[in-house]
């Protein structure tokens, strides 16, 4: 393939071709937010495979620009020529001599010339940084391991068992972990002034049986080999049984209560449930074990009652009864395979430096044509225009 052909310019130089890699992310966003059943959007790894193809494409462009560094004519005459031309009152040979003396390099036919500039190198640097970002991110996603488990005070949990996680996200090249420690929660600290999102005391038990006790507050990382462990929040899970006249069950099940952004009437945790035409809301104040249950049917409120767990598990309101059979107290623990964020940041910096160099240093290019009086030139760049003495612009 000739480097100056239309196909080569489209593949290696056109910025518009990069937009093709926006199609799959757009389809996924439309499927998620507009609930549309679109092709590719429901496949298991659409974004990952899209980024892998993007990485290969950027690598191809980088190789193209790297091998072009040694060429005399880098951009080629096939694209970028302005529509207007300048009338130059000098012969074509004299103009060529002037341009050659200023460092311009001519094509074989002598009708096109350009000057080597650092902006071309900036483009190569941009693609090198972008490749580092994409390759590192794609590799991390290929080997992704991100698990969430809810655990409470009690027996130890083997973090290497995938069955221990409530949610687990893996990549196509993910290997089952074998080096994670066992985790035993010793105590849980409810949210307060010292720990706004709570904390948890954990004993990590290695394969050799050695224990290490730590207190993890929300989002504080604990490194374990290639993995990071952290607590995100505390979660309460009451087991509720709501009935009418003690005989007709309305709702029976567990409700996860998550911490609210701001307390409401003393309640710091909230959860909701739907049962047929009924909408339920559950509030909890752990400091006082105070539980509030509200049930709506449309705009009408059928139930609004409170109880103190472990003291009065049963509450009655009109013909409704609310029984809190038990209360699960969990710490939400995340286990994630560590990502190479420093390499991604370095790649982003390199790409930005290259992009700024390309934007600051513009190409200097000239297309020459013979004319009855001197010659005509199509010019890109201030230096090239100055060398040709501005000329008289006119339509070509």
- pLDDT tens track for 75-106: 888 888 898 888 988 889 999 999 999 999 99
The reply to whether the predicted model has a pTM over 0.85 is no
One domain for residues 119 and 83: yes
- Residue 214 resides in a domain: yes
Residue 291 is assigned to a structural domain of this protein = yes
Residues 215 and 76 placed together within one structural domain of the fold: no
Q: What is the pLDDT of residue 335?
A: 95
**Alpha-carbon distance 220 to 264, whole Å?**
27
User: Residue 395: beta bridge partners?
Assistant: 84
201 and 336: one domain?
yes
Cα 187 from chain centre: 34
- Tally of CB atoms within 10 A around 266: 11
Band of pLDDT at residue 61, cut at 50, 70 and 90: very high
Q: What angle do CA 293, 298, 304 make, to 5 degrees?
A: 20
282 and 173 in a common domain = no
The answer to whether residues 171 and 216 belong to one domain is: yes
What pLDDT band is residue 356 in, cutting at 50, 70 and 90? very high
Domains held by the chain: number: 3
Domain range for residue 230? 145-234+332-340
Residue 292 lies in a domain: yes
Q: Confidence band (pLDDT; 50, 70, 90) for 248?
A: confident
Long-range CB pairs of 338-341, under 8 A, 24+ apart, other chains included? 338/223, 338/226, 338/227, 338/228, 339/140, 340/136, 340/139, 340/140
Say yes or no: 321 and 240 in one domain. Answer: yes
Max mean pLDDT range (36-45, 128-137, 245-254, 283-292) = 128-137
Are residues 376 and 86 in contact, defined by beta-carbon separation less than 8 angstroms? yes
Tell me: do 247 and 283 sit in the same domain.
yes
- Give me the chain's average pLDDT, please: 88
- The reply to whether 36 falls in a domain is no
Average pLDDT on 383-389 reads 87
Burial of 213 (0-12, 13-18, 19+ CB in 10 A): exposed
Domain end marker among 329, 357, 372: 329
Residue scoring higher pLDDT (275 or 41) = 275
Cα–Cα dist 312/293, whole Å: 14
Q: Which of 75, 78, 130 is nearest to 105 (CA)?
A: 75
Q: Which sign, positive or negative, has the C-alpha torsion 208, 210, 216, 221?
A: negative
Examine residue 24 and state whether it is found in any structural domain, yes or no.
no
Domain end residue (candidates: 319, 340, 361) = 340
Say whether 168 sits in a helix, a strand or coil.
strand
Q: Are residues 121 and 50 in the same domain?
A: yes
Q: What is the arithmetic mean of pLDDT over 333-351?
A: 95
Which of 309, 340, 371 represents a domain boundary (last residue)? 340
Q: Are residues 245 and 195 in the same domain?
A: no
Q: Identify whether residues 245 and 307 lie together within a single domain.
A: yes
Query: What band does 259 get if pLDDT is binned at 50, 70 and 90?
Result: very high
Same domain flag for 241 and 325: yes
Contact 363, 117 (CB under 8 A): yes
Structure tokens at 306: 């409170």
Asked if the structure places residue 382 within a domain, the reply is yes
Give residue 267's pLDDT: 93
Whether residue 287 lies inside any domain: the answer is: yes
Average pLDDT value for residue range 374-381: 92
Query: Is residue 124 located within the same domain as residue 155?
Result: no
* Kind of pairing between the strands at 182-189 and 199-205: antiparallel
Residue 168 resides in a domain: yes
Q: What's the rounded Cα separation, in Å, for the pair 338 and 342?
A: 11
């Amino acid at each position: 393939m000739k480097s100056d052909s239309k196909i080569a310019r489209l593949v290696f130089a056109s910025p518009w071709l990069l937009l093709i890699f926006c199609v799959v992310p757009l389809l996924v966003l439309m499927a998620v937010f507009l609930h549309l059943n679109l092709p590719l959007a429901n496949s298991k790894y659409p974004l990952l495979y899209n980024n892998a193809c993007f990485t290969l494409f950027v690598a191809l462009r980088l190789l193209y620009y790297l091998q072009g560094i040694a060429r005399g004519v880098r951009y080629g005459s096939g694209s970028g020529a302005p529509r207007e031309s300048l009338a130059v009152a000098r012969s074509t040979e004299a103009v060529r001599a002037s341009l050659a003396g200023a460092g311009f390099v001519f094509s074989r036919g002598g009708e096109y010339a350009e000057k080597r500039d650092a902006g071309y190198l900036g483009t190569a640097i941009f693609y090198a940084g972008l490749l580092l970002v994409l390759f590192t991110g794609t590799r991390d996603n290929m080997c992704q391991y991100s698990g969430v488990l809810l655990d409470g005070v009690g027996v130890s949990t083997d973090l290497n068992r995938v069955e221990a996680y409530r949610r687990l996200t893996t990549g196509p090249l993910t290997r089952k972990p074998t080096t994670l420690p066992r985790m035993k929660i010793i105590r849980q600290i409810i949210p307060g002034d010292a720990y706004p999102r709570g904390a948890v005391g954990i004993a990590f038990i290695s394969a050799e049986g050695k224990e290490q006790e730590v207190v993890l507050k929300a989002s504080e990382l604990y490194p374990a080999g290639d993995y990071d462990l952290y607590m995100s929040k505390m979660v309460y899970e009451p087991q509720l049984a709501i009935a009418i006249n003690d005989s007709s069950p309305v709702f029976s099940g567990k409700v996860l209560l998550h911490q609210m952004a701001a307390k409401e009437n003393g309640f710091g945790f909230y959860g909701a449930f739907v049962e047929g035409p009924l909408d339920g809301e559950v509030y909890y104040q752990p400091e006082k074990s105070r539980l509030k249950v509200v049930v709506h049917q449309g705009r009408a409120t059928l139930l609004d009652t409170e109880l103190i767990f472990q003291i009065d598990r049963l509450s009655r309101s009109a013909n409704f009864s609310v029984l809190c059979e038990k209360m699960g107290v969990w710490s939400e623990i995340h286990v994630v395979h560590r990502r190479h964020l420093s390499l991604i940041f370095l790649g982003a910096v390199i790409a930005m430096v290259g992009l700024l160099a390309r934007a600051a240093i513009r190409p200097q290019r000239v297309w020459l044509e013979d004319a009855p009086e001197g010659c005509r030139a199509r010019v890109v760049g201030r230096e090239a225009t100055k060398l040709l003495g501005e000329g008289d612009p006119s339509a070509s």
